[in-house]
Amino acid sequence: MNDRKKINIAQPSFLGNEKKYLLDTIESGWISSIGPYIEKFENEFARYHGVKHAIATHNGTIALHLALVAAGIKSEDEVIVPDFTFVATANSVRYCNATPVLTDVDPGDWNIAPESIKANITSKSKAIIPVHLYGNPARMDEIRDIAKQHKLLIIEDCAEALGAKYNGERVGIMGDIGCFSFFGNKIITTGEGGMCITNNDELAERMRILRDHGMNRTKKYWYDLLGFNYRMTNMQAAVGVAQLEQLDDLLKTRDDIYLSYQNAFKDSPGILLQETHHQRSVNWIFTIRMQGLSEAQRDAVMADLKVKNIDSRPVFYPIHKMDFYQNGGFCRMIPSGSNLVSQEGISLPTYIGLDQSDIRFIAETLKESLAIHVNK
């Protein structure tokens, strides 16, 4: 029997002004998508990234969709996306009736592989969505070179990587638009929430109009475009402002958690961490590959952790395996990197408040389980 408290995979932390600002929105009555916290959150987010525009949205999935529509992506267009990512990256392209081209990832850093991007470029290619998976920046130098050479837009999916840097530059500002998520398990949260950032005035204006039903910015109830209600609420933004105030501390605590896990696994050669390139990764959810494991063995390890009250997650399944991505020419090459990382990967508890003894217990339990399953 195990009498330790349950260790969750993730949990939000509200240690700053969240309640105060949230109460403020309720007392003021500004609870929908008009109110001072929205502008403040956008301005502070833009300032943090040193970028001209930040456009807040109701979640990260529609931030991606908004970016793609504003960028003019439409049917017949192809957008290169990793095969190994959260499904929203690819789905957002399909919402535009365009084709997401599912592209293999590097089994070392688990991010979209520049050489596979090149192999997937056709005359219909319009954009690339690199995802900085699990907080680890993709190889942006090479991706930018490819994009420049083939005149492709770059929309960075930074949902999991707020605060990460590549060659000293923050993720989100290395392409045309950067998109973020503030779901409850993210680096900062607003419950649900998202953001698009850009230095491009025209794209920013289109995103602001499209976010608000396509309404003319000066003529009320006159619609210039077929738009959406993708707005963030003042209540969400109030929580976002308070969370952003704590971002540096939150990232530091997550770094410490990463180092503790790294230390706990340092004598386990079969446990592989994501490789990094010229970058400052952020520890969104500590995730490892257990080399040589089948998917069934990985799932058995997760079951053992569960018995000890430790929550864990499989990594994402390759998108090409989903029924609704089977036909339609989405995946044109065998994504061996994506298949491999997906079968061996497991995410472990990562949140503010997880302590050293929890991490030691998780690592020891996992190692014991591996010893049982690895040779079965």
Ligand X SMILES: Cc1ncc(COP(=O)(O)O)c(C=O)c1O
The contact set with ligand X (CB under 6 A) reads 59-61, 85-86, 88-89, 131, 157, 159-160, 181, 183, 194
- Provide the edge-to-edge strand list for the sheet that holds 279-280: 169-170, 165-166, 279-280
* CA Rg value for the chain: 21
CB of 349 to ligand X, least distance (A): 17
Closest approach of Cβ 190 to ligand X, in Å? 9
- CA 193 vs CA 34, 79, 185, 285: distances in Å: 15, 24, 11, 18
Nearer to ligand X, 258 or 361 (CB): 258
Nearer to ligand X, 18 or 192 (CB): 192
Q: How far is the CB of 319 from ligand X (least distance, A)?
A: 11
Q: With respect to ligand X, which residue has the nearer C-beta, 21 or 183?
A: 183
CB 310 within 8 A of CB 8: no
Q: Which is nearer to ligand X, 159 or 293 (CB)?
A: 159
Select the residue whose beta carbon is closest to ligand X and give its number. Answer: 60
Please report how many Cα atoms fall inside a 13 Å half-sphere around the Cα of residue 174, on the Cβ side.
26
Alpha carbon distance 15, 354 (integer Å): 14
Residue type for 177, please? I
DSSP class of 108 = T
* Integer Cα distance of 102 and 47 in angstroms: 34
> What minimum distance in Å lies between the beta carbon of 65 and ligand X?
10
Answer yes or no: are the C-beta atoms of 228 and 211 closer than 8 Å.
yes
For the CB of residue 185, give the shortest distance to ligand X in the complex, in Å: 8
Helix (H, G, I), strand (E, B) or coil at 193: coil
**How far apart are alpha carbons 207 and 194 in whole angstroms?**
13
For ligand X, the closer CB: 133 or 363: 133
Question: Is the Cβ of residue 86 or residue 265 nearer to ligand X in the bound state?
Answer: 86
Query: Nearest distance from residue 23's CB to ligand X, in Å?
Result: 24
* Secondary structure of residue 62 in the 3-state scheme: helix
Task: Give the 3-state secondary structure of residue 333.
Answer: coil
Nearer to ligand X by Cβ, of 160 and 176: the residue is 160
Spatial separation of the C-alpha atoms in residues 25 and 241, rounded to whole Å:
12
Q: Which is nearer to ligand X, 66 or 204 (CB)?
A: 66
Name the minimum Å distance from CB 19 to ligand X: 22
As measured in angstroms, the least distance from the Cβ of 61 to ligand X is 3
Pick the closer one to ligand X by CB: 166 or 183: 183
- Burial class, 188, CB count within 10 angstroms (exposed 0-12 / middle 13-18 / buried 19+): buried
User: Are 187 and 247 spatial neighbours (Cβ–Cβ below 8 Å)?
Assistant: yes
Give the angle 322-157-118 at the CA atoms, nearest 5°: 75
Q: How far is the CB of 269 from ligand X (least distance, A)?
A: 29
The token pair at 207 is: 């995103």
